[in-house]
Structure 1
Amino acid sequence: MTILTTSRLVLRPFDPADAEDLFAVFGNADAMRYWSTLPHASVAVTARMIEQSLAADPSQHAEFAIEHDGKVIGKVGLWQMPEIGYVLHPDYWRRGIATEAVQAVIAHGFEALGLTRITADVDPENTASLAMLKRLGFVVTGQAQNTIKIGGKWFDSIYLELAAPDR
């Protein structure tokens, strides 16, 4: 059971008791604007997501609840190794929290999991996420149109990659 800590955050495995806190994120339309699903309609949907995460193959997934001051405020992790993803409640945007969480997962991916690269798939309209990833050293490797359909609408992708540092 891996737990990552930063100066302000605890990144830990999900717990079924996190459902209410995570529903505040996954049920929030602003938080979910660039996520790969529609906002969750109920706490039960979020609870199922937690169950699926806990049952996932650890060789393909390393997901963490983002805990700040004792409250779960988002999710960060690697799935379909080596793709990174994250979502944070809007009340915590623009505070460097996402950057802090992503940096911890990047370090974990390279150091503990031995990944040689980490990738990201970002909606071109998600300029804040694109800027953050570029600040962290990710480079654009491509783009594509109509890559995912959510709620009857097609969305595009920008693909990014971060190579492991030389050892």
Structure 2
Amino acid sequence: MTQPPILETAHLILRPHRVEDYAACRILWSDAQVVRHIGGVPQEAQAVWFRLLRYAGMWPMLGYGMWVIEERDSGAFLGEAGLLSAERGLPELEGVPEAGWVLSPDAWGRGIATEAMQVILDWADRHVDAPSLRCIIDPDNAASIKVAEKLGFTPLTDTELGGKPTRVFDRVRNPPL
């Protein structure tokens, strides 16, 4: 798959990133609250631009990638979610797609991450040839841990990434009937 499909839920549209998303992505990734549990450092403009380019490159190279989460009714940019291969140097992530989500603060606590990731995981179960998916979460990020558990991820191990505690979660693939 070279282009991300558009996925829809009752409240959301998940679509490919576009150049026009740069401004919203810049606001998202430069917000100290947003990155508090994701590396802890707001990203500069160039890093966000390179992030968008990486997102575009994942699809033709890997057959999966990230989506923009857009609110169906308003068209508002709510965040990003999807699958990636980030070559983080963690043996637990070798050869296994990594699930990830990040939301704007105005989308927190509304069930958006769970709704978006559920449709992504359903898609992945049909289209990604992997025995499981994994995600990494800062052990202090109770909200993301709750989302992961709702989605069927279970703790695999505690480790460190960049000198910071990181919990690796695993979700066994649920092949379609």
Give TM-score, length-normalised by structure 2. 0.82
- The residue type equivalent to 2:32 in the other structure is A
Deviations 1:138-163 (A, max 9, x none): 1111111xx222xxxx3111111111
Aligned equivalent of 2:155:
140
Match of 1:97 among 105, 109, 112: 112
CA distance, structure 2, for counterparts of residue 46 and residue 31 of structure 1? 14
Cα pair 1:3 1:11 within 8 Å, conserved = yes
Q: CA deviation at 1:127?
A: 1.0
> Which residue of structure 2 lines up, in the alignment, with residue 113 of structure 1?
128
RMSD of aligned residue pairs (Cα, Å): 1.8
Counterpart of 2:168 (choices 147, 156, 159) is: 159
Judge conservation of contact 1:25–1:74 (CA < 8 Å) in 2: yes
Give 2:42's aligned residue.
39
Query: CA-to-partner distance for each residue in 1:32-75, whole Å, 9 max, x for gaps?
Result: 11114621233x43222112211235416411111112122211
Q: Describe the SS at the equivalent of 1:86.
A: strand
Larger fraction in strand = 1
Is 1:76 paired with 2:81?
Answer: yes
Instruction: In structure 2, list runs of 5 or more residues that go unmatched.
Output: 86-95
1:7 aligns with 10
**Equivalent position of 2:93 in the other structure:** none
What amino acid sits opposite 1:25 in the alignment? L
User: TM-score of the superposition, structure 1-length normalised?
Assistant: 0.87
State the distance in 2 between where 1:52 and 1:83 align: 15
Aligned length: 160
Structure 1 letter corresponding to 2:165? D
Gaps of 5+ in 1: none
- Give me the whole-angstrom Cα distance separating, in 1, the residues matched to 2:38 and 2:118: 20
SS in 2 for 1:158: strand
Secondary structure of the structure 2 residue equivalent to 1:30: helix
68-77 or 122-131, larger mean C-alpha shift: 68-77
Aligned partners of 1:82 and 1:115 also within 8 Å: yes
**What amino acid is aligned across from residue 48 of structure 1 in structure 2?**
F
The answer to whether the Cα contact below 8 Å between 2:64 and 2:128 also exists between their aligned partners in 1 is no
**49-58 or 99-108: which moved more?**
49-58
Moved over 4 A (4+): none
**Which one-letter code corresponds to 2:139 in the other structure?**
P
